[in-house]
Amino acid sequence: HVLSTITKHYTPKLVALLNDSIEFRVAKIKGDFVWHSHSTTDELFFVLEGGPLILKFRHVFGDEGSEEVVVLGKGDLFVVPKGTQHLPGAEEEVHVLIAESKGELNTGDLGVTERTAVIEDVRQ
């Protein structure tokens, strides 16, 4: 099982590729990641185990902004719309399946940072 090989949080592994365009990745999440967005792709989160997964969102309109939180338990699914600033996190470790466009950085529009993961392809 791929998740049993993951020893570091926020290091997704590529487990499937759909139509040569959508990557399915599994990851373990604990603690907060970084605020980021993906300008060209939606991002799907599906909770496999643990958690809950806490997804924070920022909505910015001119100089005004608001923050929203979605809490996901095992079996829950949520799609973050493209261009939406979000911050995934969890107080207790959570195992997730993530789907997004092929080649998308886990840090999205932030580009390469110290939190950017090299996505290991573990397809059989």
CATH number at residue 76: 2.60.120.10
Helix segments in 8-76, DSSP class H: none
Number of domains in the chain: 1
Q: What share of the chain is helix, strand, coil (3-state, %, to 5)?
A: 5, 55, 40
pLDDT score for 119: 87
Q: Which residues form the domain of 17?
A: 2-121
- pLDDT digits 0-9 by tens, 75-109: 999 999 998 899 999 999 999 999 999 988 887 88
Q: Which pLDDT score, from 0 to 100, does residue 24 have? A: 97
**4 φ, ψ to 5°?**
-70, -15
Per-residue pLDDT of 33-78, as tens digits, reads 989 889 999 999 999 999 899 999 987 666 666 789 999 999 999 9
Round to whole Å and give the CA distance between 103 and 88. Answer: 19
pLDDT at res. 112: 80
Check whether 23 has a pLDDT greater than 70. Answer: yes
Asked if 41 and 30 count as a contact pair (C-beta separation under 8 A), the reply is no
Question: For residue 39, what are its two tokens?
Answer: 């300008």
3, pLDDT greater than 70: yes
Tell me what pLDDT residue 61 has. Answer: 63
Locus of tokens 């573990």: 122
Cβ contact 100:88 at 8 Å: no
CA angle 12, 49, 25 (to 5 degrees): 20
